Amino acid sequence: MAQPMLARLKELRPEANIDVLAPRWVLPLAQRMPEVSEAIESPFGHGDLDLGGRWRLGRTLAARGYAQAIVLPNTLKSALIPLFAGIPLRAGYVGETRYGLLNVLHKLDRKNPPPMVERYLALAGALQAPLPAVAETRLATSSTNLAQALARLSLQSPSDAHPVAVLCPGAEYGPAKRWPAEYYADLATKLGAAGFSVWLMGSEADQAVAQAILDAQPGCAIDLCGRTDLASAIDLISASQVVISNDSGLMHIAAALGRPLVAIFGSSSPKHTPPRSAAARVQYLAIECSPCFERVCPLGHFRCMRDLEPERIFAQALAAAGRTN
């Protein structure tokens, strides 16, 4: 979501070094972005205030002499480190009433909120230059790391002769963003019959969903959930022939890698967080209650996802992969 903003900064200020301060698990992603000079670990956990730790990190960063900080989260605590680091320009949304902490303040139009990418792009506008067109996201890959990951996981290298379909059945936000596990199982079986090896990809948090898929159709896929770090997940996805994903972080990674992608939306909106890729096929029914942005379907019927049947997603996956049934 943030990468087009980084690309814009680099376009406007090619001489600038852009460093990213982020939690450890995000660092591999920032390191694969060509605009980023250095990815620096933020050691603070979610909800962790640790004022003293933030002060010390801020004072360490002060030695780098940064000219500007752009704060993406809306929390009060996320604005502390740029202040402690003495960075003169500190841009961000007002969020948790951050007057004084930030000094280039942006206000969100809550009646007509822009998509996340545009929301972040506006923060780069603090440099007061003409706004270039929104670019697609893009990530670098590592063939060495890919080969190591394939060997470590005992996976056959994907190729046109041995095509791989990656399924991303998780979505951290909640079950209302997840296409049903039995549908993924049906899809995996269909893809297997069409000649694809099927990999389930996600984090440790997605292992229960992966297990539900394998319980529904034993042997329909290889479960890689929780078995790859983010860098290896990026490289494995980059080698696949097609990706089918819920609206999740891996969906955006597949889009940034330009892989043929079927992106499944239900309770969330493809207007809000669309995959930034011409190779993406968005599947969204836009039924009367959608998007509700709830974590669990408040109506119980979950029609936004249940009415998206596996046959339809299978046809889209084949078309995305350039195959006919």
Q: Which is nearer to ligand SF4, 57 or 264 (CB)?
A: 264
Report the alpha-carbon distance of residue 285 to residue 306 in Å, rounded.
10
Report if residue 272 touches ligand SF4, rule: CB under 6 A. no
Shortest distance (Å) from residue 288 CB to ligand SF4: 8
Strand order in the sheet with 197-200: 222-223, 197-200, 164-168, 242-246, 261-264, 280-283
Q: How many binding residues for ligand SF4 (CB under 6 A)? A: 15
Helix (H, G, I), strand (E, B) or coil at 17: coil
Report if residue 205 touches ligand SF4, rule: CB under 6 A. no
User: Minimal CA–CA distance to 112: which of 271, 239, 251, 250?
Assistant: 271
Report the alpha-carbon distance of residue 103 to residue 122 in Å, rounded.
15
Report if residue 171 touches ligand SF4, rule: CB under 6 A. no
Question: CB neighbours of 129 closer than 8 A, spacing ≥ 6?
Answer: 12
Which helix (H) or strand (E) is 319 found in, with range? helix 310-320
Q: By CB under 6 A, which span of 18-26, 76-84, 197-205, 285-293 interacts with ligand SF4?
A: 285-293
Report if residue 57 touches ligand SF4, rule: CB under 6 A. no
Shortest distance (Å) from residue 265 CB to ligand SF4: 10
Shortest distance (Å) from residue 178 CB to ligand SF4: 10
Q: Which of 139, 302, 308, 314 binds ligand SF4 (CB under 6 A)?
A: 302
Residues numbered 172-201 forming contacts with ligand SF4, rule: CB under 6 A: 176
Report the alpha-carbon distance of residue 323 to residue 325 in Å, rounded.
7
Report if residue 304 touches ligand SF4, rule: CB under 6 A. yes
Token pair listed for 191: 């893809």
Helix axes 310-320, 181-193, angle to 10 degrees: 50
Report if residue 264 touches ligand SF4, rule: CB under 6 A. no
Report if residue 292 touches ligand SF4, rule: CB under 6 A. yes
Using CB under 6 A, list all residues that contact ligand SF4. Answer: 176, 266-267, 289-292, 294, 297-299, 301-304
